[in-house]
Amino acid sequence: MSLISPACRDALQHWLDGLGALAGRSESTQTAYRGDVTDFLSFMTLHHSTRQGLAALERITISDMRAWMADQRGSGVGARSLARKLSAVKSFYRWLAEREGFEPTAVLSTRAPKFTKKLPRPLAEDAARAMIDTVELQSTSDWVAARDAAVVTLLYGCGLRISEALSLTGADVPLPATLRIVGKGDKERIVPVIPAARDAVDRYLELCPHPQSPKAALFRGVRGGPLNPRAIQGVMEKARMQLGLPSTATPHAMRHSFATHLLSAGGDLRAIQELLGHASLSTTQTYTAVDTARLMEVYNNAHPKARNI
């Protein structure tokens, strides 16, 4: 028997449907939210020894919230993950309270655990260039080498996510001066394509043995199907080991490098936000912290007084 009442299941589904249709949240986000809220409702059922209908949810207390959070921490859930779960629960409760007409103070006033936000780990400019060059040396097949280099060049040159680069199709070539990219939450953005990225893709197309068609994936696996992102992750892992780079030198690090290097060169934060497709400027602002940290590292290594301290 399900631990969640039919009324709660229906309410949860209606909320998730709204997230997809109105808020534009991706399927993966909806799936994560479903799991987070389902776990919360299941805990409350066990905590009160009865299935929680909508009326019972209105009576959730601060003590109940503390018990849930203590249970999560006791189960090994980290502070960052718990903060995400609490955010999902609060979002659901805001929607439910507005629909049912009750005051969700106990839930909304619950404080998220503190945690240190992880800063992006970009590569240095010379390391990013070396990564592209070294990736191309990992395959004995000329067309596969050109393919891998083209993908990594797009990640760094255009700030694409690996999923976005691999979603390009034959209809996107030859690459125009700007690409219309559909990112997370179906959010569209316009991304300029630098000449180096166009040249890399053109070279790949000249060597690729598989015929291109408008609806087929631009980047192909060895057998002709869509390229699996694990292939790029694997080739970058080999390259970083040869270059002596840390394990954080992943495909996503190339996107971080794109943003950080633009900011270092004087790029506008709002413009970088648009290029990355971030819904919130606060997400993009993490790169200012990276830039400041790098600046302080250079200062401490170079300043005569700092070296003597």
Query: Is 204 among the catalytic positions?
Result: no
- Choosing from 85, 147, 220, 278, the catalytic residue is 278
Query: Is 33 among the catalytic positions?
Result: no
- Choosing from 161, 220, 240, 256, the catalytic residue is 161
- Choosing from 147, 255, 256, 261, the catalytic residue is 255
- Choosing from 47, 184, 210, 238, the catalytic residue is 184
Query: Is 252 among the catalytic positions?
Result: yes
Handedness of CA 85, 90, 93, 94 (dihedral sign): negative
In angstroms, the CA 126 to CA 189 distance is 28
In angstroms, the CA 266 to CA 54 distance is 52
Residue (of 225, 255, 253, 263) closest to 165 by Cα position:
255
CA angle 47, 51, 53 (to 5 degrees): 115
- Choosing from 84, 94, 252, 294, the catalytic residue is 252
Query: Is 14 among the catalytic positions?
Result: no
In angstroms, the CA 120 to CA 112 distance is 22
Three-state DSSP string of 22-52: CCCCCHHHHHHHHHHHHHHHHHHHHHHCCCC
Q: Catalytic site residues?
A: 161, 184, 252, 255, 278, 287
